[in-house]
Chain A
């Protein structure tokens, strides 16, 4: 557990402390973040040039990758030090994730895709279908889409379904990696407005990754990954 010096009134959604990560043991330089905090309910725009490590950071936050040293605490709870099983469960229950592409299992229906998220979270929610419908409506999708196979949807529809699925377990943290790169400008802006509105409405902490600086306008806080990273220098 990182010592929570910032005993401020607003609880933290993300607290990174001395995080260091290498893809391969032999790598000379490691990915290192001395300290980073995001308060709950905040929407953060994370940008940086290609290869700067945005996706890597998101993977670490989602617990798909685990740091070699240092801590990540999420929602005021130890996260990166949990056993992988507990981490998987924590992720299923508290974190919604949307990737750049391939968010849905192509051969399953939209409903099945959404149900799967709820199944792994083991929330025992019996009202998924209703809630999914409500989410789809909020995302301006017709509810008839539920029965369609995921691979019959357009890219824009798929991304919105992915958002709906990420929200189905009422997560407190939403991690989104460049979801708009396949969308045209108009649908991209519509998508962003919807996403920000939904997060604000539900008090969800959002970390949104993109290299498209145009999207910065939708966020209150904007962070460049490169500014987070510090070379770990001689500590090889």
Chain B
């Protein structure tokens, strides 16, 4: 009855109520999305790489190296010698080494040169290995393995032949028309940048950068041109023993024959979080301020309505509603608005994330779960509800006071 009364009362003040609702909707959406993205980003980033003990690349920032080698974001400043990879691979401390070579793209997806050790040793999430949903690893020069999203987006099937272009970006001038690749395998979805990557052999990367004449020659006879790469972008290492991590890192950083830098993914990831924490907190504070201001808006709206509701309150009083009932009536009105706004915000964000999911993944390497219905969201909504109760206690108390003093004669 109280809820239905509160609802009718809100409905009778439609205009100001709708405006208040919209302001709540926006502020709750802001707060929820900040929290959700924060949560999910962390989760999504953390699951991108697993079981890799070290990443070795050309000296730059450790964050930079992590971003381009793991998240395929930005571009490498310089390369390392292929020989260095072979040295690393041969080290007694190293269990496995995955060479990677980045820089090309195909219709918006990054092309990465590597070898079969990638499919064998690379892990994501909680030490999950890469698996094939169809096909198998490449073994010839012009063969490619594509991520799940690439297959879905471009509708590529195993056995199909595709043409790979040079440079990053959707439209590039130099299409390597002469070097068609056969899709050899499609990986199962991982929810990481792997899904958006086209994997080819290191030699293939060399081959697509050869002069047209050499390419023509190569296409006639695969063995006629040497396609062993001279340089690659980075190497991911798995160590035999974690204890040797720091020794190896020091050795690599002091390596004389090539300029190398070794970073530990965990450490680099922490640096990433520290950098993001500032932004995160800033966003959070903004979100909270926006929410507080709209909660004040809510309480102002309710307070302003009190003057016109004096008679209504007197009527309720005389029917036997105690001041506490009047108090709760105002609170219930506030709660109805906040809960509806929270529900609408959750739905709105889920829809938005669902629609923008691919774009976020492709552009920022963010793989967000569109399902907003989780414990974190509920926690945030609970906090919002408590805050709403606190702020609307002001108009509720005003109504309570009104109720105490309301008497029959009030004729205003």
Interface residues of chain A, those whose CB is within 8 Å of chain B, are 55-56, 58-59, 62, 64-65, 84-85, 88-89, 91-93, 97, 99-108, 112, 115-117, 119-121, 165, 177
Contacts and interface: CB of A to CB of B under 8 A. Distances in A.
A88 B322 contact: yes
Interface string B372-412: 00000000000000000000000000000000001111010
A64 B407 contact: yes
A105 B312 contact: yes
B326 to A, nearest CB: 11
Contact of B315 (A85, A88, A103): A103
B408 A59 contact: yes
Contacts of B316: 105, 116, 120
Contact of A120 (B4, B319, B323, B411): B319
27 contacts: A56-B409, A59-B409, A88-B321, A88-B322, A91-B320, A93-B320, A97-B318, A99-B314, A99-B318, A100-B411, A102-B311, A102-B314, A105-B316, A106-B12, A107-B8, A116-B5, A116-B316, A116-B319, A117-B319, A117-B320, A119-B1, A120-B316, A120-B321, A120-B325, A165-B319, A177-B408, A177-B409
Nearest to A104: B315
Given A56-B409, A91-B318, A105-B312, 13 more contacts: A55-B408, A85-B322, A88-B322, A89-B320, A99-B318, A102-B314, A105-B316, A120-B316, A120-B320, A121-B319, A121-B320, A165-B319, A177-B408
Contacts of B12: 106-107
Contacts of A100: 411
Contact of A92 (B5, B9, B320): B320
B106 interface: no
Contacts of A104: 315
Contacts of B320: 88-89, 91-93, 117, 120-121
Most chain B beta-carbon contacts within 10 A, residue among A56, A103, A116? A116
Contact of B408 (A58, A85, A107): A58
A137 B95 CA distance: 95
Contacts of A117: 319-320
A37 B300 CA distance: 47
Interface residues of B, number: 25
A104 B312 CA distance: 8
A25 to B, nearest CB: 14
A92 B317 CA distance: 9
B11 interface: yes
A104 B315 CA distance: 7
A159 to B, nearest CB: 14
A103 B4 CA distance: 19
B132 to A, nearest CB: 65
A178 B45 CA distance: 74
- Do most interface residues of chain B lie in helix, strand or loop, or is the interface mixed? helix
Most chain B beta-carbon contacts within 10 A, residue among A62, A105, A112? A105
B315 A102 contact: yes
A56 B73 CA distance: 78
B272 to A, nearest CB: 55
Contacts of A88: 317, 320-322
Most chain A beta-carbon contacts within 10 A, residue among B5, B9, B312, B319? B319
A115 to B, nearest CB: 8
Interface in B159-193: none
B323 to A, nearest CB: 8
Nearest to A60: B407
Interface in B271-328: 311-312, 314-323, 325
A235 to B, nearest CB: 25
Most chain A beta-carbon contacts within 10 A, residue among B8, B312, B322? B322
A103 B315 CA distance: 6
Most chain B beta-carbon contacts within 10 A, residue among A91, A99, A112? A99
A92 B322 CA distance: 10
A188 B1 CA distance: 34
Nearest to A99: B408
A84 B322 contact: yes
Contacts of B411: 100-102
A68 to B, nearest CB: 15
Nearest to A56: B409
Contacts of B407: 55, 59, 64-65
Most chain A beta-carbon contacts within 10 A, residue among B12, B312, B316, B408? B408
A84 B12 CA distance: 30
B405 to A, nearest CB: 9
Given A55-B409, A59-B408, A62-B408, A105 B315 contact: yes
Given A102-B314, A105-B312, A64 B321 contact: no
Contact of B317 (A58, A64, A119, A177): A64
A225 to B, nearest CB: 14
Contacts of A56: 409
A79 B312 CA distance: 25
A116 B318 contact: no
A101 B314 CA distance: 11
A88 B411 CA distance: 22
B14 to A, nearest CB: 10
Given A107-B8, A119-B1, A64 B406 contact: yes
Contacts of A89: 320
A165 B5 CA distance: 17
Interface in B9-28: 9, 11-12
A93 to B, nearest CB: 7
Nearest to A103: B315
A165 B1 CA distance: 17
